[in-house]
């Protein structure tokens, strides 16, 4: 890669039936993209939802949406087909909360320095069946066979070589990210299917709501891989062309700087588009993130008290206390 910082990257938040999460978390993505013009923001909606379309139109957020729901893999394919010319792509699920936008240029820099063309990011410890750990371009990197699709970084060149997400998973409206990651590994574009700069995990808050789509009657193995995806992994595919099935559309907002949405953060409130109980619950989760990042006993105590005050029955609060007591 040339040393120039002149590149174009697309930050795409994939969503389906979760407008409440867009209201909570999207303003922070918008503010980052406004501050760094190398990055453009896009929401990719799997299906057509009037309230989500209205939200994006009203806040001047670029939106790509489809006539039918076909799962997140096909949603990403639509993005690649419609916007094929970016140097880098970030695909994030709608329950990922951004705290520190430096995570985006850090991935680009890590990729350029190492030649790794696909990186994942999720909560520390999320890599399953780790295969190695090293320091790459100043980052502590862990490699493994399995992981999640919360946050995925891809070079445009790498996607051109391995292709898109397999259309078979439109039948189930889920799965497919593991098979896609294995293609990067087989092509020599990544040292493992899942490569994570684990020191960057604290730049986001990782939420775990219930899945939008549940599939019955499909076996899942001990690696948490569904049978149809395991079959494709075993085929050792090297390339699958970017394919779309359902017709899709974009709203009238061009890619650019979503300054109107970013501006809602100017008054200092972290969750300005939600109110009441939902805002208190959001703050509780944020305070728990602060608890995990605190370096002194006083900071930890303050964060825990604030999290309890905002949402005494927060399920994550109990888990945090149990973990703290064990350590």
Our CA angle for 49, 51, 54, nearest 5°, is 110
pLDDT tens digit string along 93-130?
999 999 999 999 999 999 999 999 999 999 877 899 99
pLDDT at position 3: 43
CA distance 300 to 287: 9
Tell me whether strands 63-66 and 39-45 are parallel, antiparallel or unpaired. parallel
pLDDT at position 324: 67
For residues 17-42, average pLDDT? 96
pLDDT tens digit string along 238-290?
999 999 999 999 999 999 889 999 999 999 999 999 999 999 999 999 999 99
Read off the tokens for 8.
Answer: 């174009």
CA atoms within 13 A on the CB side of 51: 9
CA–centroid distance for 107 within its chain: 13
Domain ranges (residues) in the chain: 9-250, 275-326
For residues 5-32, average pLDDT? 96
User: Does position 152 have pLDDT exceeding 60, yes or no?
Assistant: yes
- 221 contacts 30 by C-beta, under 8 angstroms: no
Q: What percent of the chain has pLDDT over 90?
A: 88
pLDDT tens digit string along 34-55?
999 999 999 999 999 999 999 9
The CATH number of the domain covering residues in 9-250: 3.90.550.10
Across the chain, mean pLDDT equals: 94
For residues 282-311, average pLDDT? 95
pLDDT at position 1: 39
Sorting pLDDT into bands at 50, 70 and 90, what band is 210?
confident
């Amino acid at each position: 890669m040339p040393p120039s910082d002149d590149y174009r990257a697309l930050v795409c938040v994939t969503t389906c039936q979760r407008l409440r999460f867009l209201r909570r978390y999207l303003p922070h993505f918008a503010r980052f993209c406004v501050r760094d013009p190398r990055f453009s923001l896009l929401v990719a909606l799997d299906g057509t939802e009037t309230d989500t379309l209205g939200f994006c139109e009203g806040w001047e957020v670029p939106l790509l949406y489809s006539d039918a729901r076909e799962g997140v893999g096909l949603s990403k394919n639509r993005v690649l087909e419609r916007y094929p010319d970016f140097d880098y792509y970030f695909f994030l699920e709608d329950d990922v909360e951004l705290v520190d936008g430096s995570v985006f240029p850090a991935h680009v820099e890590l990729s350029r320095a190492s030649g790794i063309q696909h990186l994942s990011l999720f909560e520390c410890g999320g890599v399953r069946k780790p295969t190695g750990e090293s320091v790459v371009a100043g980052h502590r990197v862990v490699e493994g066979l399995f992981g999640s699709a919360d946050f995925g970084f891809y070079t445009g060149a790498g996607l051109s070589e391995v292709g898109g997400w397999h259309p078979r998973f439109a039948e189930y409206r889920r799965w497919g990210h593991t098979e896609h990651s294995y293609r990067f590994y087989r092509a020599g574009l990544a040292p493992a299917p899942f490569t994570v700069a684990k020191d960057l995990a604290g730049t986001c808050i990782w939420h775990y709501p219930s899945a939008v789509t549940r599939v019955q009657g499909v076996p899942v193995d001990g690696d948490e891989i569904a049978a149809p995806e395991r079959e494709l992994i075993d085929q050792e595919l090297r390339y699958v062309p970017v394919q779309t099935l359902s017709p899709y559309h974009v709203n009238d907002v061009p890619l650019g700087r979503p300054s109107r949405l970013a501006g809602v953060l100017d008054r200092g409130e972290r969750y300005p588009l939600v109110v009441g109980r939902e805002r208190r619950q959001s703050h509780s989760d944020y305070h728990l993130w602060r608890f995990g990042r605190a370096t002194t006993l006083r900071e930890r105590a303050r964060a825990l008290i604030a999290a309890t005050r905002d949402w005494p029955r927060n399920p994550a609060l109990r888990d945090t206390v149990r973990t703290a007591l064990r350590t």
